[in-house]
């Protein structure tokens, strides 16, 4: 792999964090036969919940000794940094999680604590990124037309410190072509993503043919579920996503008219916001709550970024007047607080995939209306 003189100097840097970051990027480049490194506009770091990385990950982050050189945001933590006690978080967990946050702050990362960084700053078609959150990767590649591979938390940090990433995979136009056409009926997008992700072969890229136009929030949920069950980093939708016309229609086809998700249990928690809720989704939830006109009976937790919440304080107050809770900085998948419940109802194929694995709880699936309605029963 070709390195410029400046890149060679970084590789031989006396600063161990910088030299190790370059070593990581060069190793990736060699594995995937990249011809060179390219600049990135931004980086997004995953895997920062103490629940997931533990003491070893915490110590590694605290040992970093360099500053990021591009805009760098970070994924949800294991708790709401302000309302952590309301979530039932223990003091020891709080202290360890805050050490992780401070370590990320020290290298210059923005403490966004969200899986939806695209709500906080604009990314544009064709921009090269180094993102490590599966649902955000799918959104950036598919809905925006930006370019990022599926980075690990470590490689995203390396790219943030160096400002570059190897030029391979989805950074190259030809590698973004769909190779399976999915004809979909009137199916819940999140359930569809959950189903199709499980059916796709390794490295398949789907293009969807829907009977109606989907909203960006529906596309977000589709991509998140595809990423969770099928490791999908890009998809296309006819007449919607920016690159759908750029490639030939695949010969291989899948048809889905109905999706049945057979997870049944009696929910003691309804959790919505995986990926984090947009303003439009919060407005939808408020309308559903107002339609019922009374306080919820079951625990209803909603998750959004603090950036979105701070811009919509009045909306959040109205939602919480119905006895729902709107938490920031975290979500049901990465927080140990979810483990206090037996059955969690979700509208997310991503949460449906990860909750039983990571939090060891039973799950039930429903669309947004069903989730809110059952909170009153």
DSSP 8-state code for residue 143: I
Q: Which token pair is 39?
A: 């600049």
Distance (Å, whole) CA 157 – CA 151:
9
Q: How many helices (H) and strands (E) does the chain have?
A: 13, 14
Decide if pLDDT at 47 tops 90. Answer: yes
Tens of pLDDT, residue by residue over 282-321, are 999 999 999 999 999 999 999 999 999 999 999 999 999 9
Q: What is the pTM of this model?
A: 0.96
Tens of pLDDT, residue by residue over 123-171, are 999 999 999 999 999 999 999 999 999 999 999 999 999 999 999 999 9
Mean pLDDT value across residues 238-257:
97
Tens of pLDDT, residue by residue over 330-372, are 999 999 999 999 999 999 999 999 999 999 999 999 999 999 9
Burial of 188 by CB count in 10 Å (0-12 exposed, 13-18 middle, 19+ buried)?
buried
Decide if pLDDT at 210 tops 90. Answer: yes
Decide if pLDDT at 262 tops 90. Answer: no
Residue for token pair 């483990």: 339
Distance (Å, whole) CA 180 – CA 205:
6
- Decide: helix, strand or coil at residue 289: helix
Distance (Å, whole) CA 322 – CA 199:
40
| Beta strands 129-131; 164-166: pairing state | unpaired
The beta-strand segments (E) located in the chain are 37-39, 42-45, 71-74, 129-131, 164-166, 180-184, 206-209, 236-237, 253-256, 269-277, 299-304, 325-328, 343-346, 362-365
Domains of the chain: 5-173 (3.30.499.10), 177-256 (3.30.70), 269-374 (3.30.499.10)
End-to-end distance of the chain based on CA atoms, in angstroms? 61
pLDDT for res 7: 98
Distance (Å, whole) CA 211 – CA 297:
37
pLDDT for res 258: 92
Sign of CA dihedral 328, 332, 338, 339: negative
pLDDT band for position 202 (50/70/90)? Answer: confident
Diameter of the chain measured on Cα atoms: 66
Distance (Å, whole) CA 335 – CA 198:
25
pLDDT for res 203: 87
Beta-bridged to residue 270, according to DSSP, are 300, 345
């Amino acid at each position: 792999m070709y390195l410029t003189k400046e890149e060679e100097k970084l590789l031989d840097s006396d600063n161990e964090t910088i030299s190790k970051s370059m070593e990581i990027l060069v190793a990736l480049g060699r594995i995937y036969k990249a011809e060179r490194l390219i600049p990135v506009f931004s980086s997004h770091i995953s895997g920062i919940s103490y629940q997931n990385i533990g003491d070893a990950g915490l110590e590694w982050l605290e040992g970093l000794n360099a500053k990021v050189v591009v805009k760098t945001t970070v994924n949800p933590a294991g708790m709401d940094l302000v309302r952590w006690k309301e979530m039932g978080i223990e003091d020891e967990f709080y202290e360890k999680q805050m050490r992780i946050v401070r370590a990320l702050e020290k290298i210059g990362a923005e403490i966004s604590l969200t899986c939806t960084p695209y709500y906080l700053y604009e990314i544009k078609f064709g921009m090269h990124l180094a993102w490590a959150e599966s649902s955000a990767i799918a959104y950036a590649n598919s809905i925006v037309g930006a370019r990022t591979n599926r980075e690990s938390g470590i490689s995203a940090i390396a790219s943030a410190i160096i400002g570059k990433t190897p030029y391979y995979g989805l950074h190259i136009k030809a590698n973004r072509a769909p190779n399976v056409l999915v004809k979909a009926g009137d199916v819940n997008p999140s359930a569809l993503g959950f189903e199709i992700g499980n059916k796709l072969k390794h490295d398949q890229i789907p293009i969807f043919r829907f009977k109606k136009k989907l909203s960006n929030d529906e596309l977000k949920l589709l991509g998140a579920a595809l990423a969770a069950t099928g490791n999908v980093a890009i998809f296309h939708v006819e007449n919607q996503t920016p690159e759908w016309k750029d490639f030939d229609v695949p010969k291989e086809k899948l048809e889905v008219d109905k999706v049945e998700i057979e997870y049944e249990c009696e929910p003691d928690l309804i959790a919505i916001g995986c990926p984090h809720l947009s303003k439009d989704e919060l407005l939808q939830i408020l309308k559903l709550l107002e339609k019922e006109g009374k306080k919820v009976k079951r625990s209803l937790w909603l998750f959004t970024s603090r950036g979105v919440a701070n811009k919509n304080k009045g909306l959040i107050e109205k939602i919480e007047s119905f006895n729902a809770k709107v938490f920031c900085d975290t979500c049901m998948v990465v927080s140990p607080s979810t483990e206090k419940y037996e059955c969690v109802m979700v509208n997310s194929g991503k949460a449906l995939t990860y909750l039983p694995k990571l939090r060891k709880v039973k799950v039930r699936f429903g669309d947004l209306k069903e989730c809110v309605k059952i909170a009153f029963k």
